[in-house]
């Protein structure tokens, strides 16, 4: 019996050795698994870091420009501040004006143009007494049938009107034909508007305007025909386009109707309906009173 004891000890020693080896193998496998997890996590972090985060290609990165369609914008600010809705089917369909027409309404103009723009050589004096001076150019697409100089003079008159934004006492404007400027007003055919605004991820459906970077991109159709919701003359609607978009540029957001029968704010998206207000293109009245309304969240 004494001769068998060494064999038993050898057997127990062998079992303990195998157990240690098995434990070592398990630890090794766990270590490899942990290393693999760490590697995958690190790779994920690197991938996220190189993706650009939420930035991407931002349309409104310059100045205060917007990146969404703005129905009253002459165009911004697409000032990268897309105004109301940009989804399909949310834009009003054309319908006859409720107001009697005294003369033939202008047509919507061509659907497409050359894609090349002519800058109006016209320039003007400083309008307003505000310390903040905003210089702008006016550009018109070839094939649109619009005179760049005539359009520039119309826009200049709007911004010089005492009912316009100069009434706030803070802002001044100046039309320039060349040289440094803060923004461009571009009048373009619907197809070109869709292309330029689409580059910023905006869907204008051939109907509305947008604001991209320093460009205020105005849809020729809106410039020529106005809006079915706006019963005033087309010249007044053009003033609304300019005042609405410039209002965004100087820091104003959208507003809504302050009460039945009262003037609709210039910062209201009047193309979507007046909600009981009267059509109005101007931010101030002739007495210098601001014609605003409740802010739209």
Rounded-to-integer distance, Cα 246 and Cα 228, Å: 22
148 in a domain, yes or no? yes
What per-residue confidence (pLDDT) applies to 80?
A: 44
The pair of structure tokens assigned to 181 is: 């400027």
204 in a domain, yes or no? yes
6 in a domain, yes or no? no
Cβ neighbors of 249 (< 8 A, separation 6 or more) are 63, 64, 65, 76, 77, 79, 134, 183, 216
23 in a domain, yes or no? no
82 in a domain, yes or no? no
Rounded-to-integer distance, Cα 34 and Cα 46, Å: 18
What per-residue confidence (pLDDT) applies to 121?
A: 96
Q: What is the total count of domains within the chain?
A: 1
Rounded-to-integer distance, Cα 19 and Cα 15, Å: 6
259 in a domain, yes or no? no
Domain CATH code at residue 174: 3.40.390
The residue range of the domain holding 236 is 117-253
- Per-residue pLDDT tens listing for the chain (297 residues): 444 444 545 555 555 556 555 555 555 544 544 444 334 333 333 322 222 222 222 244 333 333 344 444 433 333 444 333 233 334 444 333 333 333 455 688 999 999 999 999 999 999 999 999 999 999 999 999 999 999 999 999 999 999 999 999 999 999 999 999 999 999 999 999 999 999 999 899 999 888 788 988 899 999 999 998 898 899 999 999 999 988 988 989 999 999 999 999 999 999 889 999 999 999 999 999 999 999 998
269 in a domain, yes or no? no
What per-residue confidence (pLDDT) applies to 17?
A: 58
What per-residue confidence (pLDDT) applies to 25?
A: 57
What per-residue confidence (pLDDT) applies to 1?
A: 46
**pTM, whole model, 2 decimals?**
0.68
171 in a domain, yes or no? yes
């Amino acid at each position: 019996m004494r001769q068998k004891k060494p064999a038993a000890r050898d057997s127990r020693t062998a079992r303990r050795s195998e157990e240690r080896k098995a434990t070592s193998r398990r630890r090794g496998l766990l270590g490899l698994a942990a290393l693999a997890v760490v590697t995958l996590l690190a790779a994920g972090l690197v991938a996220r870091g190189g993706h650009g985060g939420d930035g991407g290609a931002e349309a409104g990165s310059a100045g205060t420009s917007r990146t969404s369609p703005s129905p009253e914008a002459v165009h911004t600010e697409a000032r990268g501040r897309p105004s109301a809705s940009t989804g399909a089917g949310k834009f009003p369909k054309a319908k006859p004006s409720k107001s009697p027409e005294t003369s033939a309404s202008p047509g919507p103009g061509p659907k497409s143009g050359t894609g090349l723009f002519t800058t109006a050589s016209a320039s003007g004096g400083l309008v307003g007494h505000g310390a903040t001076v905003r210089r702008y150019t006016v550009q018109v697409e070839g094939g649109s049938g619009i005179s760049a100089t005539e359009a520039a003079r119309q826009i200049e008159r709007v911004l010089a009107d005492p009912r316009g934004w100069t009434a706030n006492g803070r802002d001044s404007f100046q039309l320039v034909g060349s040289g440094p400027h803060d923004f461009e007003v571009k009048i373009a055919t619907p197809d070109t508007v869709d292309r330029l605004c689409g580059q910023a991820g905006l869907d204008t459906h051939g109907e509305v305007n947008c604001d991209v970077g320093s460009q205020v991109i105005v849809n020729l159709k809106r410039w020529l025909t106005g809006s079915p919701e706006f019963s005033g003359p087309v010249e007044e609607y053009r003033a609304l386009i300019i005042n609405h978009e410039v209002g965004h540029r100087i820091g104003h957001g959208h507003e809504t109707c302050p009460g039945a029968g009262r003037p609709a704010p210039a910062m209201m998206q009047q193309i979507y309906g007046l909600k009981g207000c009267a059509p109005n293109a101007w931010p101030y009245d002739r007495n210098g009173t601001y014609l605003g309304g409740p802010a739209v969240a």
